[in-house]
Amino acid sequence: MDNLSDTLKKLKITAVDRTEDSLEGCLDCLLQALAQNNMETSEKIQESGILQLFAGLLIPQSSCTAKVANIIAEVAKNEFMRTPCVDAGLISPLVQLLNSKDQEVLLQTGRALGNICYDSHEGRSAVDQAGGAQIVIDHLRSLCSITDPANEKLLTVFCGMLMNYSNENDSLQAQLINMGVIPTLVKLLGIHCQNAALTEMCLVAFGNLAELESSKEQFASTNIAEELVKLFKKQIEHDKKEMIFEVLAPLAENDAIKLQLVEAGLVECLLEIVQQKVDSDKEDDIAELKTASDLMVLLLLGDESMQKLFEGGKGNVFQRVLSWIPSNNHQLQLAGALAIANFARNDGNCIHMVDNGIVETLMDLLDRHVEDGNVTVQHAALSALRNLAIPVVNKAKMLSAGVTEAVLKFLKSEMPPVQFKLLGTLRMLIDAQAEAAEQLGKNVKLVERLVEWCEAKDHAGVMGESNRLLSALIRHSKSKDVIKTIVQSGGIKHLVTMATSEHVIMQNEALVALALIAALELGTAEKDLESAKLVQILHRLLADERSAPEIKYNSMVLICALMGSECLHKEVQDLAFLDVVSKLRSHENKSVAQQASLTEQRLTVES
């Protein structure tokens, strides 16, 4: 270290004199000291104030320039040296050196800038102001096709520099995307796929950039899908596959890229991984199986990619995914059920699957998870059943297959996601199915649970779906017994509250259900309707200019139906409904205007 102090003193003198031979000797000594103990040597360099002199040594025509840049690259490996390098004014001359024709100078300059930028806001900011990124991207473009080892090393350093420059910084990543870095990196990957270090650097860069929404369109206009799938097929090591997966997942969120990945043959790779790893209990294999099956489900979220893989329900991929559901592997059961839910996104697919026995397969899966079951599998299987129940022709088939009974086994679940899907499935099944709606509506256990969930304030989804199912039971059954069950279970107040929902569709469903209650069982329900302040709510809905036409219409229908109850009739009279209703006679919506005239007549006669 005494030796080092001497070298630093000597360097101060020679840096001013610019005697190249003795300067070179000093620089070699420094590099040697850094190789032996980087941190301690860097501290000495900082204390000596020599950094400021380096700016003057970074000149294109000097034979020592590469060594000076190398020293800066070495000291900047230490976090505490990055800001001092910026403060010493080194960024601007380093960026100037990026215009050099000397490969060693370019290599060491790229390293120096990359290390200064690593996790350093000051470093990145200075490189940004000096315009360093654009020069590096231009180099990548012009050197892209040269495959000799020295050039590949330089390309790797430049990619690494851009990575450090933009890592976890959205605005700098966006800047690189605007400069057109993505097509250049994709081209690099294609040409240099044999070079492990450069490939790895490209993958890390893709992983970072792919998180940005604005990158997806650029990626979609390249052949990234083809290149990644080609690279993936060559990989044997788990870590390398994992790295490619980390790029594929964010890219596959884009529908155009989903289709490109399907066309490039990714699905076959994923199915192969699943087949190879399904029985393994090694941690890496379990992780790989999960990633592959998750990615498979993600690819099915795109309409085009999903339809391409469905192939009219005859496709190899569809059949393979189907075989995951009866397996003993929870991850595969989950992915299989989610995949079916994704295939069930149009009527044609749903009808085909129901006709070919998918309902029984899903019910068997649910049966295996009733007691202490896997919540994610329950949720996924219910999601699939809910989607399958949407086409009208499937409802009766699914009801007769016993889906309601299978679903009701989960009524005791305390998990909101399962509750939510259970409710949605039942609501889809009873749509326009009077008999099923009546049967369910008379099920006291179910109705009591719905009333309980209508108060689940922490889970808006469950609360909303419970209200909607309560209303649906009445609307589709039109049954007095169902209404009595709901009144006895305390459900009326929730339907009244639902009429004030911020969602028009829910308001409407509530008003129609309440009108049926008033028409069929007013005597049974009047006390509950009164204590829930229904009349006041209807007055508010009619007076509010923001209420949708169908809300105004159904509110007036309901007012007329309530006139048969003495106590509610009195409330209607006390609230001066005539004023509000007569104004609606000139409403722009014809149905509303007509109903206002009818309601006005009714109110006048009854008053």
What's the rounded mean pLDDT across residues 573-595?
A: 91
Give me the helices (H) in 278-391, please. 283-299, 303-310, 316-324, 330-343, 347-355, 358-367, 375-388
CA nearest neighbour of 306 among 354, 277, 338, 334: 338
pLDDT at 575: 86
3-state secondary structure of 329: coil
pLDDT tens by residue, 184-223: 999 999 999 899 999 999 999 998 899 888 899 999 999 9
pLDDT for residue 537 is more than 90: yes
**pTM for this predicted structure:** 0.82
Q: Which amino acid is at 508?
A: N
* 453 has a pLDDT exceeding 70: yes
Q: Given this model, what pLDDT does residue 49 score?
A: 87
For residues 495 and 521, is the Cβ–Cβ distance under 8 A?
no
Q: What is the pLDDT of residues 134-168, one digit of tens each?
A: 999 999 999 999 999 999 999 999 999 999 999 98
Over the chain, what is the mean pLDDT? 93
Other C-beta atoms lying within 10 Å of the C-beta of residue 549: 17
Split at pLDDT 50, 70, 90, the class of 300 is: very high
Q: Specify the pLDDT at position 19.
A: 64
CA 464 from centre of chain? 23
- Separation of alpha carbons 311 and 354, rounded Å: 16
Classify residue 241 as exposed, middle or buried by CB count within 10 Å of its CB (0-12, 13-18, 19+).
Answer: buried
Enumerate residues 6+ apart whose C-beta is below 8 A from 57.
Answer: 15, 23, 64, 65, 68
- Report d(CA 425, CA 422) in Å as an integer: 5
What confidence tens digit (pLDDT) does each residue in 490-519 have? 999 999 999 999 999 999 999 999 999 999
Neighbouring CB atoms inside 10 A of 129's CB total 11
